[in-house]
């Protein structure tokens, strides 16, 4: 019922075929999955209320009446009235503001699917960072956003245009949202939404924004016609993202980021099992299932591997770039299925069609689409060995018994490493946890103080290692981290780890002390984690809670948590 119900409109019998007609639906919305209202204290500035929408994949039906399927595209216009001092933005090509009336007018002149209609309103100011780009953020965050992105977004757009043709949406603006934003980023046309928390992690910021830039071609201009083939947007966008990073940052950096993501893919594969149907590229969407539940690393990384395989069949990635430019030009502003892409590919390369590459034994296109399990082929990442080899070497030093290489391992200065090197190393330690106590003790002695000064993507992984290994000397850092985080991506994995192990009372204590700073949706999710395998948690007046209370609650109610669905703690991927 959160998503509303379908509306059937009977048309007049006298209406002629193809005769234009107009339907007016008068409606009001209540709280729904698409609309996120934030009290001032849930923003960074704590000055004014805030609201944003998140339409992907089928949430916007709770925002406005629409054909909520990616197969249907249309233009849209909107009129929004807001109090003085509240800036309103939408994913539109044109906008105007009547100050005396407090009314904003928006118009999207190109057809888009319903999920790409987006609105945000709050205490937002802007600065230009390029000839066709600006950043919007709360006043306290704007200087950081400018320093991180000024000048380089245009560089990414220019690189993308050189590969895939003109950027068709006019402006490319970015709005940084409060930490309650439920995902990392969303490719709303003309106005990318991105969580402010990512600002401190430079390399993740680069990858996340470039991925959304790539969606301007793959996903927004040409869209998957069905949610069962999300890889057509995400796999192609991931491929395009990596072509752009190769052009702007070099092949070694791209290979490092790819190795990090493919590691995560295999981690998820191990947890789900190779026969799990969600590992198919053409996954079957059962009635009543929210398509967002099918969003996983296979959509991105197995999809990427298939696209990369197609590019390798061409011999030169530049030839494949030419094909993708033609594909965009042919299908822009429409929605497609996989067969459209593959038929276009074979028609563009008739010599490959003559070789029957679509039927090559073990690598059949049909098998790529419908076989469960890992990708049938993966990219050659040897160009990244200068960055990945030190990670592999250090990991072996710490995990080879007997532990007599500590001196060599402790001489490695992680502050000199790239972020993706450090998170790749920590993820592999996470995979091997629990580690022998002597190892975790020495790791802490060598690296804990270094990691304290690094970004949240790195710190959360070290803290997960601390929790999974019950390393009590560093547990105070877990508390300190959670006391200062309001984002799903930096809270849920730690709470899941705490509740899977022996530290549930510690998790309860932190939650009762910090829950008022969390968005209600996030608060509910954490309550579900804390309640896993238990009786429902009681509502507690946190003003009366002492540090002893959670332990007393725990003593009465805790039993061993049951193993449920695969959770974020097992994936360690933020985008």
Cα(10)–Cα(84) distance, integer angstroms: 41
Reduce the secondary structure of 9-38 to three states and give it as a string. CCCCCCCCCCCCCCCCCCCCCCCCCCEEEE
Q: Which residues are annotated as a binding site for Zn(2+)?
A: 211, 215, 234
Cα(275)–Cα(248) distance, integer angstroms: 38
**Do 373 and 362 touch, CB atoms closer than 8 A?**
no
**Do 466 and 474 touch, CB atoms closer than 8 A?**
yes
pLDDT value, residue 547: 33
Q: Residue 412, by phi and psi: left (phi above 0), alpha (psi -120 to 50) or beta?
A: beta
Along the 575 residues of the chain, how does pLDDT read in single tens digits? Answer: 577 788 899 888 888 888 999 999 998 887 789 999 999 999 999 999 999 999 999 999 999 999 999 999 999 999 999 999 999 999 999 999 999 999 999 999 999 999 999 999 999 999 999 999 999 999 999 999 999 999 999 999 999 999 999 999 999 999 999 999 999 999 999 999 999 999 999 999 999 999 999 999 999 999 999 999 999 999 999 999 999 999 999 999 999 999 999 999 999 999 999 999 999 999 998 888 889 888 899 999 999 999 999 999 999 999 999 999 999 999 999 999 999 999 999 999 999 999 999 999 999 999 999 999 999 999 999 999 999 999 999 999 999 877 777 777 888 999 999 999 999 999 999 999 999 999 999 999 999 999 999 999 999 999 999 999 999 999 999 999 999 999 999 999 999 999 998 899 999 999 999 999 999 999 999 999 999 855 444 443 333 333 333 332 332 323 333 333 333 333 333 33
Closest by CA position to 565, among listed 169, 271, 307: 271
**HSE value, Cβ hemisphere, 13 Å, CA-based, for 261:** 28
Cα(533)–Cα(416) distance, integer angstroms: 43
Using CA atoms of 46, 124, 197, 547 in order, give the dihedral in degrees to the nearest 10: 10
**Do 69 and 335 touch, CB atoms closer than 8 A?**
no
| Both structure tokens of 242 | 């990596």
pLDDT value, residue 294: 82
Q: Which residues are annotated as a binding site?
A: 211, 215, 234
Cα(445)–Cα(506) distance, integer angstroms: 23
Helices (H), 273-381: 297, 303-313, 317-331, 338-348, 350-354, 365-370
Give the domains, in start order, of the chain with CATH numbers: 35-216 (3.30.2010.30), 223-380 (1.10.390.10), 384-531 (1.25.40.320)
How many C-beta atoms lie closer than 10 Å to residue 336's C-beta?
21
**Do 426 and 390 touch, CB atoms closer than 8 A?**
no
Coil, helix or strand at residue 185:
strand
Cα(233)–Cα(237) distance, integer angstroms: 6
Which residues touch 270 (CB under 8 Å, ≥6 apart)?
Answer: none
Cα(401)–Cα(397) distance, integer angstroms: 9
Which residues touch 491 (CB under 8 Å, ≥6 apart)?
Answer: 482, 485, 518, 522, 526
CA distances from 309 to 6, 297, 325, 359 (A): 41, 17, 18, 14
Residue with token string 């190779």? 274
Which residues touch 280 (CB under 8 Å, ≥6 apart)?
Answer: 298, 369, 370, 371, 372
Q: Residue 530, by phi and psi: left (phi above 0), alpha (psi -120 to 50) or beta?
A: alpha
Cα(215)–Cα(116) distance, integer angstroms: 11
Distant-in-sequence contacts of 264-268, Cβ < 8 A, 24+ apart: 264/297, 264/301, 264/427, 264/571, 264/572, 264/573, 265/297, 265/298, 265/301, 265/302, 265/374, 265/375, 266/374, 267/427, 267/431, 267/570, 267/571, 267/572, 268/296, 268/297, 268/298, 268/566, 268/570, 268/571
Beta strand 73-81 pairing with 50-53 = unpaired
Residue with token string 């906008």? 95
Tell me the catalytic residues.
212, 300
- Cβ density class 210-249: b for 16+ within 10 Å, e for less: bbbbbbbbbbbbbbbbbbbbbbbbbbbbbbbbbbbbbbbb
Indicate the burial class of 342 (C-beta count within 10 angstroms; 0-12, 13-18, 19 or more): middle
Q: What residues form DSSP beta bridges with 337?
A: none
pLDDT value, residue 295: 85
DSSP state of 190: T
pTM of the model: 0.92
């Amino acid at each position: 019922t959160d998503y509303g119900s379908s509306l059937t409109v009977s048309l007049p019998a006298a209406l002629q075929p193809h005769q234009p007609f107009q339907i007016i639906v008068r409606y009001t919305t209540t709280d729904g999955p698409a609309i996120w209202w934030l009290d001032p204290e849930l923003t960074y500035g704590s000055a004014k209320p805030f609201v944003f929408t998140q339409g992907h994949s089928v949430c916007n039906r709770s925002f406005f009446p629409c054909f909520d399927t990616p197969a249907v595209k249309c233009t849209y216009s909107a009129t929004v009235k807001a109090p003085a001092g509240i800036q309103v933005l939408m994913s539109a090509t044109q906008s105007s503001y009547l100050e005396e009336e407090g009314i904003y007018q928006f118009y999207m002149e190109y057809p888009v699917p319903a999920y790409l209609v987006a609105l945000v309103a709050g205490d937002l100011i802007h600065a230009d960072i390029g000839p066709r780009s600006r950043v919007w953020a709360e006043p306290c965050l704007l200087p950081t956003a400018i320093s991180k992105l000024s000048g380089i977004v245009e560089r990414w757009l220019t690189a993308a245009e050189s590969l895939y043709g003109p950027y068709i949406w006019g402006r490319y603006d970015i709005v940084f949202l409060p930490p309650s934003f439920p995902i990392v980023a969303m490719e709303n046309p003309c106005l990318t939404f991105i969580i402010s928390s990512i600002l401190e992690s430079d390399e993740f910021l680069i990858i996340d924004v470039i991925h959304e830039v790539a969606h301007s071609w793959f996903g927004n201009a040409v869209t998957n016609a069905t949610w069962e083939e999300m890889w057509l947007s995400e796999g192609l966008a991931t491929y395009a993202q990596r072509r752009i990073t190769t052009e702007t940052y070099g092949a070694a950096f791209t290979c490092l980021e790819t190795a990090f993501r493919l590691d995560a893919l295999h981690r998820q594969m191990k947890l789900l099992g190779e026969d799990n149907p969600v590992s198919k590229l053409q996954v079957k969407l059962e009635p009543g299932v929210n398509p967002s539940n099918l969003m996983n690393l296979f959509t991105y990384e197995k999809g990427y591997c298939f696209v990369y395989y197609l590019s390798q069949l061409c011999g030169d990635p530049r030839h494949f770039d030419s094909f993708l430019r033609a594909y965009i030009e042919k299908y822009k502003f429409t929605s497609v299925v996989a067969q459209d892409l593959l038929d276009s590919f074979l028609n563009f390369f008739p010599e490959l069609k003559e070789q029957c590459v679509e039927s090559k034994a073990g690598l059949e296109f049909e098998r790529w689409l419908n076989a469960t399990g890992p990708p049938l082929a993966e990219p050659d990442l040897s160009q990244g060995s200068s960055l990945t080899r030190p990670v592999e070497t250090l990991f072996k030093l710490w995990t080879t018994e007997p532990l007599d290489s500590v001196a060599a391992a402790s001489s490695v200065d992680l502050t000199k490493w790239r972020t993706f090197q450090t998170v790749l190393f920590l993820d592999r330690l996470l995979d091997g946890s629990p580690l022998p106590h002597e190892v975790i003790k020495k790791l802490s002695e060598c690296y804990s103080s270094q990691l304290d000064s690094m970004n949240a993507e790195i710190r959360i992984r070290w803290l997960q290692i601390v929790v999974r290994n019950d390393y009590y000397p560093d547990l105070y850092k877990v508390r300190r981290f959670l006391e200062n985080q309001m984002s799903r991506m930096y809270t849920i994995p730690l709470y899941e780890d705490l509740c899977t192990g022996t530290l549930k009372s510690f998790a309860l204590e932190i939650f009762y002390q910090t829950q008022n700073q969390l968005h209600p949706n996030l608060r509910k999710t954490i309550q579900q984690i804390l309640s896993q395998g238990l009786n429902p948690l009681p509502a507690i007046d946190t003003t009366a809670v002492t540090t002893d209370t959670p332990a007393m609650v725990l003593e009465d109610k805790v039993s061993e948590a049951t193993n449920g669905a695969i959770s974020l703690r097992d994936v360690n991927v933020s985008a």
